[in-house]
A and B are shown apart, each in its own frame.
Chain A
């Protein structure tokens, strides 16, 4: 039989390990996204060098294009956590704390629904590409489902992150993860 204290510890342990798991997930998708960004540069540079030395990088154009998509979608969740997705906070900032919280719930709820719907149809796209064996033009004939899978995974993790923040706003007194970055002006600095 567990004492109250031990039960509390167990719950806290579950909570922190869940937290670690989620943060780990965001970090992994962020690192993958960054690697795909590097890949764009590497492929394009290899192609340029190849032109001088007379070799060609097969399907460089396609690989670079697919990497843009994969990188961007895998980065969705970490970018959210970082507060770098832009939104209009003009009205939000003026609201008193209590109302602010409920508007935040609306934002996260609506965003979650939209994101889940989006995820569902990108998965559909991926499934169809796989079923019909769609491939890219160009030398390598890359199956389209590969980059599409990356997009679907990125969107799924994004949905998880939105849910994560929704739970935080609904059930705790803490601010959602992206607020810190938003207030520091991360998003604004980038345009």
Chain B
């Protein structure tokens, strides 16, 4: 059997296990086992034990559960209400009006939460009923929310960037900072699109409400100050190099607890629920990482990643062609499997190839996250679509059509970071030494 045949066979086994409904982490283990048993004579059990231990007992993973916990605490706080009342008075007058609360709200919440679905859910809980009440068209409300929710993945802290950083052995801090400018770019694209849409569909947009006097506006936005403080504390300390991502995450947890205690939303049951949710989510992700690290070792034994890298080298494919091919591949894959699986599979199998093609791994992380964002909003498996379905009661394909323009905007963002790679790499280069 040639390496190519083995690769295809393993891919078949993987899709069989995943597709039949075996849990992702165990499917990865299963494929790894199958690969080592069938094609090598390596001591499979020993490898399994050591890879499990090596991958999960590491300091670099520590920010993961902490950032998840922070998001869970804030998800249960009054932040959702405060965000809406704080942002709405300022956005009244610009074209598209209050729809922009979705984009900006998600952008701000993304800076304290690492999850895309939680971002969409937190902001949508408040903004959907408010926008509906004022008669904004459902289509654009749903689309902008599902689209902006994906900012949770890109704007630090980002769970998926931690997963990538741990798998690819990159600095989490630098990865986080690399996500900042592309995140802002996306916010700009989304808001620009909403303005254009509003100008072309004037008759569907309710007239702006009475503007509030500036002092009243400031008073209402005052509630956002603690959140902004938290963002500066977390992202700022990483950027300035005064804290490692783990330390920033621990400070974030303390800050989130303090913030929800001060606003009176930290009941015992909210605390327990948040902790429980965080425990489950981080368990799910760490288990997948453990499975993926075993798969990485197993793949190393089969020589497939190396072979793929050589193949790319022999083909003389340009990085642009490779990126284009990968984008299409990931978007198709993203219709069926979730973002975390895409990231860990990429790290196990494709990274040597990407490196061989001369692509910067930091940049590739940002690219990967953008593509995973697309996966979050493509049917039939798009987690943000499920969230919006739950919030609005519309069926998934209606939600998906409403979201489609925002999918295209993500494509634009990918094209832009390909043309201007500095968008992702410039800011991390300016970071202080740590």
Contact = CB atoms under 8 A, between A and B. Distances in A.
Given A37-B69, A189-B387, A66 B278 contact: no
Contacts of B251: 45, 48
A73 B21 CA distance: 21
B118 A88 contact: no
A92 interface: yes
Interface in A42-92: 44-45, 47-48, 61-62, 64-69, 71-73, 75-76, 78-80, 82, 84-92
Interface stretch (A7-15, A115-123, A166-174): A115-123
Interface string A114-142: 11011011101100000000000000000
Interface string B95-126: 00000000000000000000111100100000
Interface in A92-110: 92, 103-104, 106-107, 110
Contacts of B69: 37, 41
A139 B410 CA distance: 48
Interface residues of B, number: 74
Interface stretch (B172-180, B213-221, B279-287, B314-322): B279-287
Given A44-B66, A45-B250, A185-B386, A84 B281 contact: yes
Contact of A92 (B21, B283, B387): B21
Interface stretch (B44-52, B84-92, B425-433): B44-52
A103 B20 contact: yes
Contacts, number: 212
Contacts of B22: 87, 107, 110-111
A84 B281 CA distance: 7
B25 interface: yes
9 nearest A-B pairs in the assembled complex, by CB-CB distance: A75-B283, A72-B286, A125-B49, A44-B250, A190-B281, A121-B49, A84-B280, A69-B57, A121-B45
17 contacts: A30-B279, A37-B275, A48-B251, A65-B59, A68-B57, A68-B65, A79-B287, A86-B24, A87-B24, A107-B23, A111-B23, A114-B30, A114-B33, A117-B48, A118-B29, A124-B46, A189-B118
B286 A118 contact: no
Interface residues of A, number: 63
Given A69-B53, A114-B29, A188 B282 contact: no
A191 B275 contact: no
Interface stretch (B128-136, B189-197, B335-343, B361-369): B335-343
B64 interface: yes
Given A87-B22, A117-B48, A121-B46, 12 more contacts: A34-B279, A66-B57, A67-B62, A69-B286, A85-B283, A86-B23, A86-B340, A88-B18, A88-B336, A90-B380, A91-B19, A189-B117
A30 B57 contact: no
Nearest to A188: B383
A21 to B, nearest CB: 21
Interface string A130-174: 000000000000001001100100000000000000000000000
Of residues B46, B243, B246, B337, which shows the largest number of chain A Cβ atoms within 10 Å of its Cβ?
Answer: B246
Nearest to A147: B57
Of residues A30, A107, A147, which shows the largest number of chain B Cβ atoms within 10 Å of its Cβ?
Answer: A107
B269 to A, nearest CB: 14
